[in-house]
Structure 1
Amino acid sequence: MDLKITKETYGGSKLSWLGSRRGVDTARTVTIDRSKLAAAVVTAGVVPAGTPLAQAGAKVAPFTGAEGEVFVGFLLTDQAVKAGGGDIVAPLLDHGRVIVAKLPVAFTAPDNATSFVFV
């Protein structure tokens, strides 16, 4: 894990996919398994806010909709992916209202996504 103190500046997260403030102030902390990040998910060195995530052992990884995959929520804020860095500690939105058309990737809600309202 990359836990050293650093300061970095990049554009603010695009949060237009959020349909309400519900859940934003109670996001939980998760660790994204860096080894499971595909080039299709990382844009300009950033995993964008709104990326759907799935359970990957004790960590999370981008949700692909594969058989047996367990959807857990959405990445709340953009996360930088540094060359040579470790896993990424990030906030996870695990309930709330989501505007599917504004997510950064194509997404079809799985059956277990019952803590979300999709519009």
Structure 2
Amino acid sequence: MALITNSTSNLGGDQSWLASAHAIWNGRSVTVDLSKFTKETHYPQGFIPQGFPVTIGEDGLAVPYDGTNLAGHLLNDYPVDAVNATGKIEAAALLDHGRVVASKVPFQGFKAPATQANTTINYL
């Protein structure tokens, strides 16, 4: 799956993926493993966009969603450059409950999961 590039998106953030404000103040903290993301696929504009779906890997770190075990969606844009591309983002905010517009999630081919063992997100 590839990122849907949005030429109007910037570090101010494109919140069109959110279907309501519910839960945005209650995001849980996760550590994002940037070594699992690739520039061409996940952050061609220099940042991982808010709304990006992630999974929690066996090591407890957030990695790109692979179609199984959705953990939620990142609540902020996270800049990535050559310096930190193989590091980690500590205390990234994750939406794991609330309402999301599936067609606006910034990940090409994203479909609302049929089952969600780790979230209580309602997809519209």
Query: What TM-score, normalized to structure 2?
Result: 0.79
Percent same amino acid among aligned pairs?
37
Aligned residue for 1:98?
A: 100
3-state DSSP of counterpart to 2:35: helix
Residue 46 (structure 2) aligns with:
45
Question: What pairs up with 1:33-112 in 2 under 5 angstroms?
Answer: 33-38=33-38, 39-56=40-57, 57-65=59-67, 69-85=68-84, 86-89=87-90, 90-105=92-107, 106-110=109-113, 111-112=115-116
Q: Which runs of 5+ in 1 are unaligned?
A: 1-9
1:5 match = none
Q: Which amino acid aligns with 2:121?
A: F
Q: Which residue of 2 aligns with 1:3?
A: none
Per-residue CA shift, 1:77-116, capped at 9, x if unaligned? 1000121212112110010000111111131222116501
Distance 2:54 2:99 in 1: 16
Name the structure 1 match of 2:20.
20
Structure-1 separation of matches of 2:95 and 2:121? 10
Q: Give 3-state SS (helix, strand or coil) of 2:42's partner.
A: coil
The alignment covers a number of residue pairs equal to 107
The aligned amino acid for 2:122 is V
Instruction: Answer with 102-111 or 69-78: which moved more.
Output: 102-111
Runs (5+) with no aligned partner, structure 2: 1-9
Instruction: List structure 1 runs of 4+ shifted beyond 3 angstroms.
Output: none
- Cα RMSD (Å): 1.5
SS in 2 for 1:29: strand
Partner-residue secondary structure (3-state), 1:40: helix
TM-score by length of 1: 0.82
Aligned equivalent of 2:6 = none
